[in-house]
Structure 1
Amino acid sequence: MFTIHIASIGEMIVMEYRLLGRTGMRVSPLCLGGMMFGWWGENGYDETLAMIRQAVDAGINFIDTADIYSGGESEELIGRCLADTGLRDQVVLATKVHGSMGDDPNQGGNSRRWIMRAVDDSLRRLRTDRIDLYQIHRPDPAVDVDETLGALTDLIRAGKVRYAGSSTFPAYQMVEAQWVAERRGRERFAAEQPPYSILARGAEADVLPVCQSYGLGVLAWSPLAGGWLTGAYREGAELPASRRTVMVGDRYDMALPENQRKLAAAEQLARLAEESGLSLVEMSLAFVVRHPAVTSAIIGPRTMEHLKGHLAADGVRLTADVLDRIDEIVPPGVTINPADGGWQAPWLADPSLRRRR
């Protein structure tokens, strides 16, 4: 842990900084996520600039995005804002590659061919000459991990990328990547970005212990369970309309019994937060960032109001009694709806991959 005082709007803010794995980079326990910058979140330049300024003023020095967010617009907005404000050198900038960026079947995935092109596209959109943490957004069963690590190694040695990371990798593939890097003399993944929240605790079973074993930094995505832990999802209340219900409907379809169970758990958690004198957002973010394996929780505000509510969680400590009650509501290692796991092995979804013909 590292504590620093940052001047902001006439007052002193104490921010705790943490080492990102073994990289030597120190980052804030809250990371500003860029998923809602651009048309996905209906945010343009002015809104993005205001939120970046507010986050940096509050002590956040970590920004994460991906090439696929709003079709590249998120990277463009972040890059423009950092360039216009001169803040680029003050933040650790992370982005991701993997998602399809066009109709060409080769414009996506984890191949060397695509990574080498995609990184230049991201650098151009971000208006920078280097990416501090370049992450592989999802596993790609069609590509040997050695090819992916080889491409990332060349990018690191060329100075375009400082460190490489993975996102939503199952534990066994994380271990495989570490072994391949050692055997083949590749740069290794320095961080993992798993889904992790009170409602999606599957990472506790194996991913987080593997991260601790190999000294990987951890950026937890969706710490508010895609909005389920904001207080908007309550029993008997009208459920909020969201574009997410179209993009990832299986996480929000209330006809599914697993989402009914999530709703019941969210209700109990909201009551627990109220009894503890906290907002549900504060309790949920504090839960994530206090796990010993977690470096930073990625917050993805769509509005300034959301951002201010997220920032209020900084410094919140949960008592043992509250943590025990959370464990009773959602047991350790349990993800109530498997769709919240972020990635499913194709051989589980496609019968032809698990049945001999």
Structure 2
Amino acid sequence: MKYVNLGRTGLKVSQLCLGTMNFGQSTDEKEAFRIMDAALDAGVNFFDTANGYGGEKRGHTEEIIGKWFAKGGNRRERVVLATKVYGDMQDPNDGPNSESGLSAYKIRRHLEGSLRRLKTDHIELYQMHHVDLSVSWDELWEVFQSFVQKGTVDYIGSSNFAGWHLTLAQAEAKARNLLGLVSEQHKYSLLCREPELEVLPAAKHHGIGVVAWSPLAGGLLGENALNPQKGSRSAQETNAIEARRPQLERFAALCSDLGETQSNVALAWLLANPAMTAPIIGPRTQEQLVNSLRAVEIVLAEATMVELSNIFPGPGKPAPEAYAW
């Protein structure tokens, strides 16, 4: 495994981040334990979750991770743990504050819940799952800084923020002599290159590490996209594949020429971006995890990078150069 700094911090994290959204849904507890053991054995030390993960039972994914930590063997000590806050946890005790949002009241309550489910006394990276423009940064930075001062949280991150949200957050943090955001978790892949316009440039400028979610575009960039098992795709997924079939066939042919799988080439393309800290891989099985480890070893030639952009065109330049002249 290879390691990089998380944004401008001194914290080293693996170049692949283990996503756990499937745990408790398509992946049962036993297989989740196997995946986390294998990830740790392979040197993956960066684990991402959210308090809302777990399907119908919000928080169930965190509970599974907490049970795994409780098995001992220095599991907790070896993991850089990231979780998120924002959504409705369906807790009747939240009352009118149950709806999605980021009040100090809700953040405090939901952090306490995450710590309890995860069976830990601290979180390395606590992330806002979405932006909440109805809440002031006075309120947000005050509550987050209180966690940092107590040692309950080491760093604060964001997810699904626009470029201007990142810039505003950093300006407000600087005015308070705070470190501010250290990471932004964002949807980014060969099939979703809009972040190159403003989010990636803003993150790079402010020293915010980018963690890519859905790096395989919901499986469209995976090995089974063109040859799915019978009955494994919904009508919506099938339509998405057919709309992209010429691109996906060119991509599959290129990967075949390289002797690499589509998913690993898609991940390697992300890792070649200097703004990238780590893509999030969300394996449903231990085998899928092991197969993804190859991605950090792949170095794509310049000609390959050009061909990938020909197949999956991006904006070409950041805003406003991409469209203004």
- TM-score normalised by length of structure 2: 0.89
1:72 match: 59
> 1: distance between equivalents of 2:79 and 2:289?
17
Q: 2:27·2:285 contact (CA, 8 Å) conserved in 1?
A: no
- Let me know the Cα RMSD of the aligned residues: 2.1
Of 19, 25, 29, 1:33 maps to 19
Which residue of the partner structure matches residue 20 of structure 1? 6
Indicate the SS of the match to 1:312. Answer: helix
Q: CA deviation at 1:196?
A: 1.1
Task: Give, as a single letter, the amino acid of the residue that structure 2 aligns with 1:287.
Answer: W
Aligned partner of 1:290 in structure 2 is 272
What does residue range 180-219 of structure 1 map to in structure 2 within 5 Å? 180-219=172-211
C-alpha separation between the residues in 2 aligned to 1:272 and 1:124?
Answer: 47
Structure 1 CA distance for aligned equivalents of residues 131 and 138 of structure 2: 13
**Ranges in structure 2 where 5+ consecutive residues have no aligned partner:** 317-325
Offset from partner CA, 1:241-281 (integer Å, 9 cap, x none) = 36xx8xxx6xx472x7xx65434322221121112111001
Tell me the equivalent position of 1:106.
97
2:244 aligned with 1:262, yes or no?
yes
CA contact (8 A) 1:17 1:27 kept: yes
Q: Would you say the 8 A contact 1:22–1:215 is kept in 2?
A: yes
For 2:299 and 2:243, the matched residues in 1 are separated by: 27
Residue among 12, 24, 43 paired with 1:59: 43
Separation in structure 1 between the aligned mates of residue 216 and residue 96 of structure 2, nearest angstrom? 33
Q: Distance in 2 between matches of 1:133 and 1:333?
A: 31
Equivalent in the alignment of 1:301:
283
Please, which moves more after superposition, 108-117 or 232-241?
232-241
Give the % identical residues: 39
Moved more, 185-194 or 108-117: 185-194
SS at match of 1:84: coil
The answer to whether the 8 A contact 2:271-2:296 is kept is no
Note the alpha carbon deviations across 1:108-149, whole angstroms, 9 max, x for none. 311111101000100111111100000000112322233222
Deviations 1:88-125 (A, max 9, x none): 11111100111111164412311111101000100111
State yes or no: 1:96 paired with 2:96. no
1:159-170 to 2 correspondence within 5 Å? 159-170=151-162
Question: Quick one: which amino acid aligns to residue 309 of structure 2?
Answer: D
One-letter amino acid of the structure 1 residue matched with residue 263 of structure 2:
V
**Secondary structure class of the residue paired with 1:234:** coil
Report if aligned partners of 1:233, 1:240 keep a CA contact under 8 Å in 2.
no
Rounded to whole Å, the distance in 2 between the matches of 1:235 and 1:31 is: 27
**In structure 2, which of residues 109, 112, 123 is the aligned counterpart of residue 131 of structure 1?**
123
Deviates more, 1:195-204 or 1:98-107: 98-107
Please report the TM-score for the alignment, with normalisation by the length of structure 1.
Answer: 0.81
The one-letter code matched in structure 1 to 2:126 is: Y
1:283-315 superposed Cα distances (whole Å, 9 cap, x missing partner): 011011111110111100011221122122221
Q: Which residue in 2 is equivalent to 1:8?
A: none
Consecutive unaligned residues of structure 1, counting only runs of 5 or more, are 1-14, 335-357
Report which stretch shifted further, 207-216 or 79-88.
79-88
